């Protein structure tokens, strides 16, 4: 039993700042009130108690090539199979990859991240490598695998089916680089098999304007439209929506994950987040390739708050930005099978961190001012 006392807690799904104590027993929040004080006391005076983060999109394998490829095109950097990232991953030994992934997982843990959703390259072997590497680190990887058989204009559907079945035995789902590399029938098969297994189907869409033009030329549909029709649970990016892509998001089974710093790093555009939030959507946010960005959610949130306000020329609430990384994932209408995230409420798991409060606005203090040394407690 322990009590986190005297802090400003970000309570409930709405992250309402509140001066209350939290009583925790065996990893579960059992009471929140002004006067509860039992067991071990953790003093959070002048501190903020926040739910931990979900980093909803990473590629931690490319920790091995941080900041390489600057100035090249997006295709030259990340497109399989010949982007510099894929060549580097293929050339790397398991040991090199394992220790690089561990480094990034510890960094994420120390920055208040409880879960991360990783697009793991390297097929089944790559999935197993990350699973094993994460075993002794208090962070939960949600691993989305892929396989070389998925690519190309004339895929062997039998091979694809076998690969999907094997992947889904060990992975939490499948994450695809994009429609540019795969055929619609492969996408549909993957979505169907993931749905049958209760697992996640995810794909990058509309990352650059070029891929949208290619998709329209090839089949008369945008990439998000194809993703909605195939039945993906999660689409990533949509920095370049066209036609009715935003309106149709609400009608689809997909939830959206945005990666604004990555889109900036690759000079591909800015996701129209304000417009998407105004439609009542609950997007998630991720730091994307570690070769491009550190997996630090505070950096992602500060960049996102400010670039989105500048881009839309209007006010966006810092709380709405903070929810991208915390409680949006806890809503029932965010359709990501198997994703369990907790928030600060009675009955929820203790999944929180405590950070110094450096201004009179707790959420802006976190977004604008938190450094790693400000985090004084991380729940196990
Ligand atoms: Zn990505």
Q: Give distance in angstroms: CA of 350 to centre of ligand 1.
A: 29
**pLDDT tens, position by position, 324-346:** 999 999 998 888 888 888 999 99
- Percent of the chain having pLDDT more than 70? 100
Sheet harboring 2-5: ordered strands across? 28-33, 21-25, 2-5, 40-43
pLDDT given at position 99: 97
Q: Give distance in angstroms: CA of 288 to centre of ligand 1.
A: 5
Confidence band of 355 (pLDDT split at 50, 70, 90): very high
Class for domain 2-51+342-378, per CATH?
mainly beta
Q: Give distance in angstroms: CA of 328 to centre of ligand 1.
A: 20
Q: Give distance in angstroms: CA of 289 to centre of ligand 1.
A: 6
Q: Give distance in angstroms: CA of 57 to centre of ligand 1.
A: 6
Q: Give distance in angstroms: CA of 204 to centre of ligand 1.
A: 6
**pLDDT tens, position by position, 213-233:** 999 999 999 999 999 999 999
Q: Give distance in angstroms: CA of 196 to centre of ligand 1.
A: 24
Q: Give distance in angstroms: CA of 21 to centre of ligand 1.
A: 39
**pLDDT tens, position by position, 92-125:** 999 999 999 999 999 999 999 999 999 999 999 9
Q: Give distance in angstroms: CA of 134 to centre of ligand 1.
A: 20
**Which CATH number does 53-330 carry?**
3.20.20.140
Confidence band of 262 (pLDDT split at 50, 70, 90): very high
pLDDT given at position 335: 83
**pLDDT tens, position by position, 130-169:** 999 999 999 999 999 999 999 989 999 999 999 999 999 9
Q: Give distance in angstroms: CA of 59 to centre of ligand 1.
A: 6
Give the domain ranges of the chain: 2-51+342-378, 53-330
Indicate whether 78 pLDDT > 90: no
């Amino acid at each position: 039993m322990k009590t986190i006392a005297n802090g400003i807690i970000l309570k409930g799904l709405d992250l309402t700042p509140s001066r209350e104590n939290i009583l925790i027993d065996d990893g579960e929040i059992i009471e929140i009130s002004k006067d509860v004080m039992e067991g071990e006391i953790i003093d959070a005076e002048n501190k903020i108690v926040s739910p931990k983060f979900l980093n909803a999109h990473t590629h931690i394998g490319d920790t091995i090539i941080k900041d390489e490829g600057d100035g090249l095109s997006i295709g030259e950097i990340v497109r399989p199979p010949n982007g510099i990232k894929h060549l580097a991953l293929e050339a790397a030994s398991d040991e090199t990859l394992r220790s690089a992934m561990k480094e990034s997982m510890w960094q994420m843990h120390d920055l208040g991240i409880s879960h991360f959703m990783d697009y793991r390259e390297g097929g089944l072997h790559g999935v197993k490598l990350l699973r094993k590497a994460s075993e002794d680190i208090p962070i939960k990887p949600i691993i989305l695998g892929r396989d070389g058989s998925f690519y190309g204009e004339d895929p062997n559907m039998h091979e694809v089916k076998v690969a999907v079945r094997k992947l889904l035995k060990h992975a939490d789902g499948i994450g695809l680089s994009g429609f540019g590399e795969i055929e619609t029938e492969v996408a549909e098969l993957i979505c169907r098999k993931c749905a049958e297994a209760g697992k996640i189907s995810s794909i990058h869409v509309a990352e650059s304007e070029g891929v949208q033009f290619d998709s329209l030329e090839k089949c008369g549909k945008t990439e998000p439209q194809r993703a909605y029709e195939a039945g993906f649970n999660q689409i990533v990016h949509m920095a370049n929506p066209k036609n009715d892509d935003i309106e149709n998001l609400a009608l689809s089974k997909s939830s959206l994950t945005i990666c604004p710093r990555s889109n900036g790093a690759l000079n591909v555009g800015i996701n129209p987040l304000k417009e998407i939030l105004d439609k009542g959507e609950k997007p998630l946010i991720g730091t994307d390739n570690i070769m491009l960005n550190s997996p630090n959610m505070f950096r992602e949130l500060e960049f996102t708050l400010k670039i989105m306000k500048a881009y839309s020329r209007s006010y966006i609430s810092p709380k709405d930005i903070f929810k991208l990384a915390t409680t949006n994932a806890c809503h029932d209408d965010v359709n990501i099978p198997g994703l369990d995230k907790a928030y600060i409420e009675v009955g929820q798991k203790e999944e929180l961190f405590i950070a110094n409060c450096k201004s009179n606005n707790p959420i802006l203090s976190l977004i604008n001012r938190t450094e790693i040394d400000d985090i004084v407690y991380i729940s196990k």
